[in-house]
Amino acid sequence: MKILVTGGSGFLGLELCRRLRARGDTVASLNRRYSTHLDRLGVRQHLGDLADTAAVSRAVAGQDAVVHNAALAGVSGPPRPYWTTNVLGTRHVVTQCRAHGVGTLVYTSTASVVFRPGGLEGVDEGLPYALRHLAPYPESKARAEALVLAAHGPDLATVSLRPHIVWGPDDPHFVPALARTVRAGLLPMPGSGGNLVDTTHVRTAAHAHLLALDRLRDHPEAGGRAYFVTQGDPRTLREITGHFLRAAGIRARWCTVPPPLAAAGATAADALLRLAGSTRTHALSRFLVEELLHPHHFDLTAARRDLGFTPPVSFDEGVAELAPTLPHPSEESPCRTPTTSFDPS
């Protein structure tokens, strides 16, 4: 197949391109900056922005399928940038798929489109979108996912996948952010860390996308649905952070921040950032604190049944791969101490 991956130079996007090329597909990417990694994979690069209709049109032309993976992600920040990239950009992708006769569109959504205060425990795809989202990111992704699913029809088969907390070798987001949180051997976190959380290894997320592509190609009538795709192995937040910090060679003691204090701090931070006109996407926020305090794990029955989905790598296997790809503690803050174990107390 000839497949366009939007955001192919990103963390998940690069893994998608790598796997598609490995199985013999002709792959192109729409990304804002040139990538030497994509060049080495033999991926044709279209440089441009999702907000630019002409750039999207050039990239989509001549493709058999599109994996729309590009997005602006974050836990804070003003709505407009999220809306421009995630909603307007997705509308452009859908429109150009129709204009150029593309038959298959797989959308990379997020499980956060249904997240709400109090968390989520074993929920399936029957749960509706949150009535009131805690941040612009999940709200914009919910709106974009709805656009993709509404576009499903005889001429364009669509499906939406909902990975959650994507991590793995060379992770530029989750594990490094966690490592930066450690100060003087302490990991300040709201609550006790006993909440169960689902995560998604990057290879698991990419595997699900390939399954969805093939399913829609062979059975386009199966589209129009969203699917949770995770490891299906929820762990406590305290255990997850312990594994990840140990892989990074960082010793840290869990330091409980009282939930009311964390919530008050997040509310104040949200207000101050709005007043200052800040565009920071990864600052302290109510959305972040709620996800750190409460459970969020999902029922994968639908993906297993309809897509034949099974994670190709276990959580423990994925953790074992992390250490060689993460920065050595000596390259980080001097307040961190390398270790071979994690102190969960």
Number of Cβ within a 10 Å radius of residue 268 = 11
Question: What number of other Cβ atoms are within 10 A of residue 221's Cβ?
Answer: 9
User: So where are the chain's domains?
Assistant: 2-171+199-234+296-315
What distance in Å separates the CA atoms of residue 51 and residue 94, rounded to the nearest whole number?
Answer: 13
- The identity of residue 280, as a single letter, is R
Secondary structure tally for the chain: helices H, strands E = 13, 15
Of the chain, the end-to-end C-alpha distance in Å amounts to 51
Instruction: Give the separation between CA 238 and CA 245, rounded to whole angstroms.
Output: 11
Per-residue pLDDT for the chain (345 aa), expressed as one digit of tens each? Answer: 999 999 999 999 999 999 999 999 999 999 999 999 999 999 999 999 999 999 999 999 999 999 999 999 999 999 999 999 999 999 999 999 999 999 999 999 999 999 999 999 999 999 999 999 999 999 999 999 999 999 999 999 999 999 999 999 988 888 888 888 998 899 999 999 999 999 999 999 999 999 999 999 999 888 999 999 999 999 999 999 999 999 888 989 999 999 999 999 999 999 999 899 889 998 899 999 999 999 999 999 999 999 999 999 999 999 998 877 666 554 443 333 333 222 332
pTM strictly above 0.85:
yes
CATH superfamily of the domain spanning 2-171+199-234+296-315:
NAD(P)-binding Rossmann-like Domain (3.40.50.720)
The DSSP string of 131-181 is: SS-SSHHHHHHHHHHHHHHHT-SSS-EEEEEE--SEE-TT-SSHHHHHHHH
Q: What is the reported pLDDT for 344?
A: 30
- The residues assigned a catalytic role are 137
pLDDT confidence of residue 267: 92
CA gap 120, 295 in Å, rounded: 6
pLDDT given for residue 333 in this prediction: 39
Q: Please give the structure tokens belonging to residue 261.
A: 């204090």
171: alpha, beta or left? (left if phi > 0; alpha if psi -120 to 50)? beta
Amino acid at 123: V
Task: Please name every residue paired with 187 in a beta bridge, in sequence order, or none if there are none.
Answer: 254
**How far is 68 from 93, CA to CA, in rounded Å?**
8
Rg (CA), the chain: 20
Question: E strands along 11-144, which residues?
Answer: 26-31, 44-47, 65-68, 104-108, 120-123
* φ, ψ for residue 161, nearest 5 deg: -110, 140
Give me the pLDDT at residue 222, please. 85
pLDDT at 245: 93
Three-class DSSP category at 184 = coil
